[in-house]
Chains A and B, each alone.
Chain A
Amino acid sequence: MSYLPYAVAAWLCLVGLAGVATSRNLIHLAVCLTVTQSSSYVLLLSVGYVKHGKAPIFKGVPLGATAVDPVVQALTLTDVVVSVVVVALILALALDAHRLSGTVDPDEIVDVSG
């Protein structure tokens, strides 16, 4: 059971990747990307967890109390912003694709290949 958190993170990564690779709709694909990315924050927060630790916020808590790692939380904050940004950009591109070709299917917007 001690490895369940990491296994969940790996699972999210694979599920998201499968979704991205098979998606036929750019809006759906963008959301699948966020699932892939959620893997990285689940992994980060899991590796920084300390047994019986409290949040690293020392208001009304004596300094030196057992607390979980603050660094992974700071990294997760950045990661969350990145995922919003990527979704916004891909959706903007999806709207462009729809305006130009009437479809948001990545297989059908192929203009260049080879």
Chain B
Amino acid sequence: MTWIPPLLVAIPLVAAAVVAGLDHITPEPVQDALVVIASMATTALAFALLWHAESHEVVHWFGGWGTRHGVALGVDFAVGPLAAGMCAVIGLVVTLALLYSLTFLREAARLFDALMLVALAAMCGFAMSGDLFNLFVWLELMGVAAYALTGFEVERLGPVQGAVNFAITNSVGGYLFAVGIALLYARTGALNLAQIGNTLSHGPAGGLAIVAMTVLFCGLLIKGAVVPFHLWAADAYAVAPAPVCAVLGGVMTDIGLIGVARLYWTVFDAPFGHGHAVGDVFLWLGIVTAVLAGTMAFLQRHLKRMLAYSVLCHIGIMLAGIGLLDSSGLAGAELMFLAHALLTAGLFFVAGILHVDHGLIDELNLHGRGRGSWMPAAAWFAGTIGLVGTPYVGIYLGHGLIDEGATELGRPWVLALLWLGSTLAGAALLRAGARIFLGWGEAEDPLLGGALEEDPHERHVLRPLLLAVAVTAVVLGAAISVVPGLGQRAEYAADRFRDRAGYAARVLRGRPATPPQRLPVTIRHTSLESILYGAVATGLALGLAGVGLYRRRLPPGVTAVAQRALAPPIQVLRELHSGVVGDYVTWVAVGTAVLGGVWALLLHG
């Protein structure tokens, strides 16, 4: 089965070349079919790979250049169950987005399809690669495709601004990553992750390794849109067409986190794994991201921008899960990725349908207009509940595993902060749903700022197809927490992912993976605490949504106090998200310097 990994990259790339190359020549239905079939085939192969990877480490050495005396000669894809699972979900989300865009985006469809396929190949390649420079190549490839897709609607300024900010900040991130590659290469003389890890495990790590780690992780955190590197994300995700948003927000942002986890457990666990400094920084970054992005989500009225902040909020929770540095946390992050990718994609799809129906994407402008469209309403509310983490729905299981990890580590306060993040983001989405589909609340709210320009209206669509795709995504995402046996498998996958020495032996010496004991096929249960937290979070989200809808009915005393306490920080937050790329690059520089300084203090000595 070692032939599968290269196909996950080769199939979409060949299809992209054929589709864009034969534009104007082959008839449209043939092209559409080709695109969808290529994407579906990739997804199916990824599932086959997942099946196989559970008991084997699928290592593919390109060109047959393997290792010689422990020196990796070529480039390898090394796939365990975690990476294979990522590829499967990436394929699924891209396939759904392509189906959705069959009728949604008619204009320049070929170029669009080709770029989506290129992005699919790049994301799969990134998830599987075991070579540092190869990671950079896939990172740049998905970036190039994504910048252009973001600027797809060339007749408005917003998309241009979003794409400019996206392209510039992420390119800077790519260059930081490249500098990190050069530093590590100078230290170890290797590009293979397993080999770099082995080399770094001998001798003192030193400042070089700390700085290399800083710039590599900062490059990835820019892609992953983690505070303070997150500023570009809302600008970009708010302006792209709905299917593009589904792919960018659902899976591409998370790619940065996959990279962080991969690099940590193949390379930097060797020199820095004895302490908890690296993990603690991730944990704090994650908490700050979750709470800040949740708050920002609550302050939005543009649905796609709100969803963008909701994505960042969950990115923060996942990063915190990774930062716990144990199997529960990593498994929780993975499960949360699965549910979050599908649910977010589903909600972006619903937002696209609302736009098709009414030509509007603004919560306040849409006030009450969704009454009667009960299918989109059901999908929206189900997706929202799934994203809050109501017990046994959507991201809940992931949340629960992260909770377990934090409790075991003796940091129970992490639970409250992370649940606060998803509560805030969920409250924003619930409020929007109630306002649009139920007509609740007022039609004006100065808290949410001014209206943004509406996207151009797409009319000639096959609405049932859009709806079917949206419902499929939401249903799959909401069901993740109750798939029997999934939780246990995620924990096993995380165990294997975290085993640095084992990974190195499997890659460099071809040692077979130890297959798991028979894993149970039952629903993974979580602690009572998580159930309580989930229930409270749901209640709190509903309450907050209510406050958002009927703010003016609160007693005047309460409103005045809240106004005085909250207005200044909200103002500061809004000003930080200035939309000016120079500021964003400055924040990248600040973040890199601060992270490097913190790690230098914690790890040196």
Contacts and interface: CB of A to CB of B under 8 A. Distances in A.
Asked whether any CB of A lies within 8 Å of a CB of B in the complex, the reply is yes
Contact of A111 (B161, B178, B234): B161
Contact of A36 (B167, B175, B302, B580): B175
Interface in A82-106: 82, 85-86, 89-90, 93-94, 96-97, 100-101, 106
B235 interface: yes
Interface in B97-140: 133, 137, 140
Interface centre among A82, A97, A101 (most CB of B within 10 A): A82
A65 interface: no
Contact of A17 (B147, B167, B589): B589
A113 B573 CA distance: 11
Interface secondary structure of A, over-half rule: helix
Contact of A29 (B168, B175, B586): B168
A22 interface: yes
Given A13-B175, A100-B160, A112-B452, A47 B182 contact: yes
B168 A33 contact: yes
B235 A112 contact: yes
Contacts of A82: 140, 174
B582 A22 contact: yes
Contacts of A73: none
Contact of B172 (A33, A85, A89, A106): A33
Contacts of B469: none
Contacts of B511: none
B186 interface: yes
A78 B579 contact: no
A82 B574 CA distance: 34
A40 B179 contact: yes
Contacts of A107: 580, 582
B561 interface: no
Contacts of A7: none
B157 interface: yes
A112 B162 contact: yes
A72 interface: yes
B415 to A, nearest CB: 30
A80 B194 CA distance: 27
A44 B164 contact: no
Interface in B527-584: 574, 577-582
Interface in B250-274: none
B146 to A, nearest CB: 11
A90 B144 CA distance: 10
A31 interface: no
B185 A72 contact: yes
Nearest to A23: B582
Contacts, number: 134
B544 to A, nearest CB: 20
Contact of B185 (A44, A85, A89, A96): A44
B157 A101 contact: yes
Contacts of A47: 182, 185-186
A96 B151 contact: yes
Contact-residue size bin, chain B (C-beta under 8 Å from the other chain): 35 or more
Given A17-B585, A47-B182, A90 B156 contact: no
Given A75-B133, A86-B171, A101-B157, A113 B578 contact: yes
Contacts of B581: 29, 106
B181 interface: yes
Contact of B305 (A75, A100, A112): A112
B147 to A, nearest CB: 6
Given A36-B172, A96-B151, A89 B449 contact: no
B91 to A, nearest CB: 25
B154 interface: yes
B160 A97 contact: yes
A100 B179 contact: no
Nearest to A17: B589
Contacts of B452: 111-112
A20 B585 contact: yes
Nearest to A45: B182
B48 to A, nearest CB: 31
B389 interface: no
Interface string A64-79: 0000000110010011
Contacts of A86: 144, 167, 171
B426 interface: no
Contact of A20 (B148, B172, B449): B172
A38 B163 CA distance: 23
A59 to B, nearest CB: 22
Contacts of B234: 112
A110 interface: yes
A82 B138 CA distance: 11
Nearest to A110: B579
Closest 9 CB pairs of A and B: A113-B579, A47-B186, A40-B178, A110-B579, A114-B574, A43-B182, A111-B158, A21-B585, A111-B157
24 contacts: A9-B182, A21-B586, A33-B172, A40-B179, A40-B181, A47-B186, A48-B185, A72-B185, A86-B167, A89-B147, A90-B168, A93-B163, A96-B154, A100-B160, A101-B157, A109-B161, A109-B164, A112-B158, A112-B305, A113-B577, A113-B580, A114-B449, A114-B574, A114-B579
